[in-house]
Amino acid sequence: MSANMLGPYGEWAASLLPKGPGELSFRRTEFKSLAAWKRKAGGKLAELLAEPSIPGKLRVKIEKRYTYDGLDMEELSWDLPHGRSTRAVFLKPQGAKGALPAILALHDHGGRKYFGIDKIVRLPGRRHPLLKEHQQDYYGDKGWANEIARRGYAVLVHDAFLFGSRRIRYGDVGPELHRGRRERRPDSLAEVHAYNEWAAAQESVVASSLFCAGTTWPGAFLAEDRKALDYLCSRKDVDPGRVGCGGLSGGGLRTVFLGGTDSRIKAAVCAGFMSTWRDFLLYKSFTHTWMMYAPLAPRYFEFGEMLGLRVPLPTMVLNCNEDSLFTLEEMHKADRALKGVYRKAKASGAYDCRFYPGGHKFDLEMQGDAFGFWDRWLKG
């Protein structure tokens, strides 16, 4: 018996996975029509995600408007029927006219729920020390949202469900959960570290509560990301026919669900979040968050095939060979599965998967490749 996450139960649990492509994998021979398969498989994924409805149109408030480092920027907020106001930033090249191609830039998890958009956007003023460290470690010391905006894109970045402005505060929950904690010195290093540790410990509480509500964490992510996409596509300075999305890690995860289920995303880039259910089951579940699980999905599709539901729309997947969140063998298996979906759909040219040396990151080389991919499909 090889070492795995379930010890003597690992081989048994792995035996429960489909022996070949899942019941609704397009790679199965019984699926001949792409359109018919997408209707059936997309309907099942929607059922499994149980995305909660968020009715109505966003009423977006412009908090600030200014020009910074060659970009026209708007700091925004909007209210949803639940939780605190969402904080967001919109960026485009200074003085840009007309309807631009656009990117919904999705921030990562990183074990840092205290922050959201600030992980991938650079705003005027002092960077928090932990954000400086975060951008140096994962993004080549860049705010990648700024960098893609500079190439001629309109870019929207918003705080995801339970991150940054959307996070749960200690005072929002009972004493059995906060255990006397209070936010005494907001943004101090000690405060931020303490909050991130507490929030990590609360993930199982949040996930089980969402299950009891009849929804899932990825469903909640998807609902809020879709509302942000609604707003981005509604702007007069955005061409709604040329919109992409992407992100690293938790942003890559969100890309799987948004890119896989919303055809308005014409070009999707998933960085640092692609492997197989077997990888998560046997080897890597301890490195991951409850935010990725749609119960029963492994019966029907491989993990990457949820993103593959967007076929034949262009898709890029970026992996790192020494990424500690996944095993290299399973990342390659995920690539072969997605390749198979695009090949069968006669859309192989719209799928691009790349592997890079090093650990978990979206560095300058990877950003350059992603930006070139977006240029090809959203500008070309």
> What is residue 1's predicted lDDT score, i.e. its pLDDT?
46
> What is residue 25's predicted lDDT score, i.e. its pLDDT?
97
Has residue 331 got a pLDDT over 90? yes
Burial of 219 (0-12, 13-18, 19+ CB in 10 A): buried
- Fold classification of 99-152+215-379 is Rossmann fold (3.40.50)
State the amino acid at position 11 in one-letter form: E
Q: 3-state secondary structure string, 143-185?
A: CHHHHHHHCCCEEEEECCCCCHHHCCCHHHCCHHHHCCCCCCC
Which of 303, 246, 288 is closest to 271 using CA atoms?
246
In which residue are the tokens 């992100």 written? Answer: 247
Query: Beta partners for 90?
Result: 74, 156
Residue 233 has φ and ψ, to the nearest 5°, of -70, -20
Q: pLDDT tens digits, residue range 152-209?
A: 999 999 999 999 999 999 889 888 888 878 887 778 999 999 999 999 999 999 999 9
> What is residue 3's predicted lDDT score, i.e. its pLDDT?
85
Compute and round to an integer the Cα radius of gyration of the chain: 20
Q: Rounded to an integer, what distance in angstroms lies between the CA atom of residue 79 and that of residue 124?
A: 24
Q: How big is the CA angle at 75 (ends 69 and 80), to the nearest 5 degrees? A: 155
> What is residue 184's predicted lDDT score, i.e. its pLDDT?
78
Give the predicted TM-score (pTM) of the model.
Answer: 0.96
Q: pLDDT tens digits, residue range 1-58?
A: 478 989 999 999 999 999 999 999 999 999 999 999 999 999 999 999 999 999 999 9
Tokens of 187: 């943004």
Three-state secondary-structure class, residue 242: strand
Which of 320, 321, 319, 301 is closest to 311 using CA atoms?
301
Q: pLDDT tens digits, residue range 78-99?
A: 999 999 999 999 999 999 999 9
Find out whether 80 and 86 touch, Cβ atoms under 8 Å. Answer: yes
How distant, in Å, are the alpha carbons of 216, 244, 270, 324 from that of 119? 25, 19, 17, 20
The H-assigned helical ranges of 98-245 are 129-138, 144-150, 175-178, 189-201, 203-212, 217-234
Three-state secondary-structure class, residue 269: strand
State the amino acid at position 378 in one-letter form: L
Question: Across the beta sheet with 315-320, what order do the strands follow?
Answer: 60-68, 71-78, 86-93, 154-158, 100-105, 238-248, 265-271, 315-320, 351-356
